[in-house]
Structure 1
Amino acid sequence: MLFDLFFKNFLFKIFLSIISGVFGVLSFSPYNIWPIAIISLVILFKLIYESNIKESCLISFFWGFGFYGTGISWIYISLIKFGGLSKILSIIIFIFFIIYLSLYIVLFGFLFKKYFFKKNILNCLFNIPGLWIVLDYFRSSFFTGFPWLQFGYSQINSPLNFIAPILGFEFITFLIVMISSFFYFFKNKLYLFLYFFLFFLFSFFLKNIYWYYPIKNDYIKVTLIQGNEKNLITYNIKDIKKKINVYYKYTKPVLGKSKIIIWPESIIPNNIINQKNLLYFLNKIMYLKNTILITGIISSKRNLKNFINFNSVIFLGKSLIIKSINNIIYKKYHLVPFGEYIPMKLILYPLLKLINFPMENFSKGNYLQSPQNICNKNFLTILCYEVIFSEQIKNNFSSQVDFLLTLSNNSWFGNSIEPWQHYQMACMRSLELGRSMLYCSNNGITAIINPDGSCQKKISQFISKSLTLNIIRYKGITPYSKFKIIPIKIFVIIFIIISIFLKKLYKIFN
């Protein structure tokens, strides 16, 4: 066939690998064309299979370059907008980061071609998807981790989403890679389609099992406010007052009507020490109106030498007198590299200082923090970037949690796809844990997410508006929240054992 002849041309393979990588991004939000994830991987597998090891590594690299270069292009925007760097320097930093991420795909292509290229049921069912999961795990862990664009998230609206409350998005990724390997490796397509017909029929029954249930007549009225402010973090007193006035304009009409009012991250960007008068003023108003205000703040704590800062969430209106502000806050654990702290500080700090890169110096909060009890409801707080770290959220979750709460600042990324990807991952957290989420952002998206991962109500990007709704409390516990990441770790261990065994067996018989 003409298409197979093209596949033998190496330059065509490189071109197709880039295109299929770019194509894979369409499976994620805001595009949400979930079958494209499988198509993109099928093309990658065919390209690797039809090439030698050296070509496979190059093909994998260019697939990753197309995939990450398109899917996280918003990093370039943040370097320009937040970093204040020149376009050339921003491009250089962005390219180096994309190269780093693409090396994981290179390692996949190398190991795939060297050990798992044979078309057999064991490779399709276990080895190839297991290898992908292992490398996803390393990417999510090394250098603080960057667990972005994992294919499990792309299936939030697909027939596979029923897996999330049982085994989590990681196992959905496993299934996507497994399905892709089946599509390419199996010659008997009739058998293949029969297999997947039975699989999706089985999924239909599992999809109708609800691990959680609503508590009748047990709800709370909340208001989420999206101010759509133009500026980023500012320490100018006039700018802060202007920002507060925007949010107070939407707050005033619902005081005493909504039990909880939520402002997003970075609305009070100045240090808590410098904003005590404002905080006491807001706290008194909220207390007298029987309303709780939740918003972001920078908190401080004195250590032996000086003050250390935390990116925090504060809860105002719980009592008239605030004895200790530090006792009514949540402190962020997972900090944004280069945005909130400098990784490998001894090496990178002098270099970043040389190029005048703006550097924050936040400290981590505790990994485990108790849910906040607000109006007799328990809220599990997640601050912005943390929503993508599923393991931390699961370890802080218990059956006593009533709602998930996320405050975010997406203004760093302009009119890009980042806020939609971030929101999609937040939806997956609700689906995995079976709880409604209050997701509040400064310039979009702001939403109330149902326990099944669907949107109950939202405010789109770049709109200044408030969202008021009665949200029902749910109870029950999903298998995934109970067993956490243990099942997928067992799969990884079995995968490694089988891989070692097969390698030794191969040497014996050859």
Structure 2
Amino acid sequence: MMPKIKAAKQLLPTCLISLLLGAGLTFSYAPFGAWYLAPLLLAGFFWLLNNKGRSHAFVSGWSFGLGWFGAGISWVHVSIADFGGLPLAGSIGLMLLLCAYLALYPALASSLLVRFIRPAYWPLAIGFIWLFCEWLRSWMLTGFPWLSVGYSQLHGPLGGYLPMVGETGVSVLLVTLACSLGLLLPKRHFKSAVVITAVLLISGYLLGKQQWTKATGQSIKLAMVQGNIQQSLRWVPEQDLPTMNLYRHLTDTHWDADLIIWPEAAIPKLEPLALRYLQELDETAAGHQTALVTGIVNYNFETRDAFNNLIVLGSQDGQAEGHYRYPHANRYAKHHLLPIGEFIPFEDWLRGIAPLFDLPMSSFSRGDFQQPNLQANGLHLAPAICFEIAFPNQIRANLHQHTDYILTVSNDAWFGHSHGPHQHLEIAQVRAREFGIPVLRATNNGITAVIGSQGQLLDELPQFQQGVLVSDVPRYSGQTPYGKFGDLWAWLLATLGLLLALWLPRRHSAKQAIAPSVN
């Protein structure tokens, strides 16, 4: 018993430091944006893992992950506490349960690194191991790839690699750099550390100056409406008409725009029950030779299937002719549904346990992974609803040669004044830089924004205000390397590093075995 108590006491400081290092990563993401903290904190973790945590790699990695996600997605607690109907202890407990689950992935990465790779070769292997574990996180239980470390580098030199290898590849480069620093600096190998850092940061900076796509010289006049409807009122039946009238009123002075966008589920009435309203909007938009894209819930009363949809009203091809007829094909159905919020895992068991598992609009059907672009007033839009923007492979699968813009709509009222909406915006900015085309982001309560092809904010509306964002948005042509090849180069680079990490020690051992026989 005494040895176990002694081991636990020795492990506790390591776990505590790992927890703090992971929590510190929050400051490298939006709204804080201290990108330089990510490589330093990760380097500190790899040093700690090598010197203090190798015998308990899983626990050390889990502690790091618990801090990383516990601080980084603490905003989940806001939606559970405010709208889930659970007491404070219950909401915090559910948030910690989610964070404990997500922490299993860095724990797995730590275990695999320590178990199969010699410490001297960690920097070569960590890219593949990290990439593999993050890939698991992106699809297990439908996937939750939030706070992948590459997002922290949007405004740093490594961000220049985003159009080349995407956020996935930047994550590989970042953990490789951090692991190198964590092993080299304590051994006073300063020259090697400086060379590796300089090569990656300078090359990233120079790549960031490269324009992979080109402006065509054309632009559109865009109007995005931010209704700022309180979440507690969104699905109250008595509020349907006031909400619909508000969006119509905010739009009435902007029919001269080439494209008008309303956010996710802006129309709170089920589509089959809102046909008259939709047909009037369709006729008005077509009469002004414009198009209006809005979020709405489509419900089939025969099959009882519900879809979180985006639909296009008004002009489809630039002609003054409406085309809306329910259920027309110019629509998009959300594919990646949010667990609890849009579908209930193990629904038969969980329904009725707590209000959280019986929220309005929490039982949607899934749309296809790949769907046609929305056609609006001669424009082709690649849509993503809410946290779908965090899945780059889905965005890439829906980008075509004729796609003009990425369109993402959301309702971040669930997360109040937390840093969640800022992280959400940062993810959309990374998508713009990866693919080299603007992202149009319309939200219910902010942050509504136009994002340029380099990931920069061109225009935005403040949070928690009603308003209309009017902006001239340039059109682009061309394709980034990441748009063409996706994660291929990230996997190839990471796999090459892993093979070297496995081969070099054997080669070194073989040379040592040959040397005595020669002597």
Same-fold call, TM cutoff 0.5: yes
Name the CA distance, whole Å, in 1 between partners of 2:309 and 2:296.
5
Name the counterpart of 1:455: 457
**1:5 corresponds to which residue?**
none
- Aligned letter for 1:251? T
Residue 314 of structure 1, aligned match among 301, 311, 315: 311
Query: Over residues 371-413 of structure 1, what are the superposed CA-to-partner deviations in whole Å (9 max), with x where a residue is unaligned?
Result: 1222222111111111000001111112211111111110111
Q: Corresponding residue for 2:283? A: 284
Q: Which residue of 1 aligns with 2:158?
A: 160
Alignment: residue pair count: 493
Query: Is 2:270 aligned against 1:271?
Result: yes
Distance 1:266 1:300 in 2: 13
Deviations 1:247-292 (A, max 9, x none): 223211112x212111111211221111111111211221222221
Report the counterpart of residue 182 of structure 1 in structure 2. 180
Aligned counterpart, 2:142: 144
Counterpart of 1:414 in structure 2 is: 416
Q: Does the 8 A contact of 1:395 with 1:484 survive in 2?
A: no
The AA in structure 2 aligned to 1:294 is: V
1:119-138 to structure 2, matched below 5 A, reads 119-120=120-121, 123-124=122-123, 126-138=124-136
360, 376, 385: which is aligned to 1:383?
385
Alignment CA distance shift 1:400-1:233 (3 Å): farther
CA offsets, 1:290-346, max 9 Å, x none? 2211110011346xx623110000111124353333323111111111111123x3x
Q: Kindly state the Cα deviation for residue 505 of structure 1 after the two structures are TM-superposed.
A: 7.8
Aligned to 1:215: 216
Residue 127 of structure 1 aligns to a residue in which SS? helix
Tell me if structure 2 keeps the 8 A contact 1:233–1:269: no
Tell me whether 1:252 sits opposite 2:249 in the alignment. Answer: no
Alpha-carbon distance in 1 for matches of 2:291, 2:258: 6
Return the TM-score normalized by structure 1: 0.91
Report 1:235-384 matches (<5 A).
Answer: 235-255=235-255, 257-301=256-300, 306-318=303-315, 319-320=321-322, 322-343=324-345, 345=346, 348-356=347-355, 357-359=357-359, 360-384=362-386
Change (3 A) 1:328 1:447: same
Check whether the contact 2:332–2:383 (CA below 8 A) recurs between aligned residues: yes
Q: In the aligned structure 2, how far is the partner of 1:342 from the partner of 1:504?
A: 50
The secondary structure found in structure 2 opposite 1:326 is coil
* Contact 2:128-2:495 within 8 A present in 1 as well: no
Greater Cα offset, 482-491 or 386-395: 482-491
- State the alpha-carbon separation in 1 of the partners of residues 53 and 92 from structure 2: 32
Shift in CA distance, 284/238, structure 1 to aligned 2, threshold 3 Å = farther
In 2: Cα distance, 1:491 partner to 1:506 partner: 22
Task: Provide structure 1 residue ranges, at least 5 long, that are not aligned to the other structure.
Answer: 1-7
Q: Which moved more, 1:225-234 or 1:400-409?
A: 225-234
Matched, 1:403 2:405: yes
Alpha-carbon RMSD across the aligned residues, in angstroms, is 2.3
CA contact 1:147–1:388 (8 Å) conserved in 2: yes
Amino acid at match of 1:179: L
Q: Distance in 1 between matches of 2:13 and 2:50?
A: 15
Q: Distance in 2 between matches of 1:481 and 1:441?
A: 26
Measured at CA, do residues 493 and 12 of structure 1 come closer, stay the same or move farther in structure 2, by a change above 3 Å?
A: closer
Counterpart residue type for residue 281 of structure 1: E
My pick for the range that moved more, 149-158 or 84-93, is: 84-93
| Closer/same/farther in 2, CA of residues 320 and 326 from structure 1, 3 Å limit | closer
| 1:172 equivalent among 163, 170, 173 | 170
How many angstroms apart in 1 are the aligned matches of 2:87 and 2:457? 39
Using the alignment, how far apart are the partners of 2:352 and 2:51 within structure 1? 47
| Displacement of 1:494 | 4.4
The answer to whether the 8 A contact 1:65-1:98 is kept is yes
The 3-state SS of whatever aligns with 2:274 is: helix
Give the deviation of 1:29 after TM superposition: 0.5
Q: 1:233 to 1:340 in 2, by over 3 A?
A: farther
User: Is the 2:165–2:481 Cα contact (8 Å) retained in structure 1?
Assistant: yes
CA change 1:232–1:288 in 2 (3 A) is: farther
Letter of the 1:101 counterpart: L
Distance 1:28 1:86, change over 3 A: same
Separation in structure 1 between the aligned mates of residue 309 and residue 43 of structure 2, nearest angstrom: 43
What runs of 5+ residues in structure 2 fail to find an aligned partner?
Answer: 1-8, 316-320, 514-519
Equivalent position of 1:64 in the other structure: 65
Q: Is the 8 A contact 1:234 1:270 kept in 2?
A: no
Q: Is contact 1:264-1:295 (8 Å) kept?
A: yes
Q: What TM-score, normalized by structure 2, do the two folds share?
A: 0.89
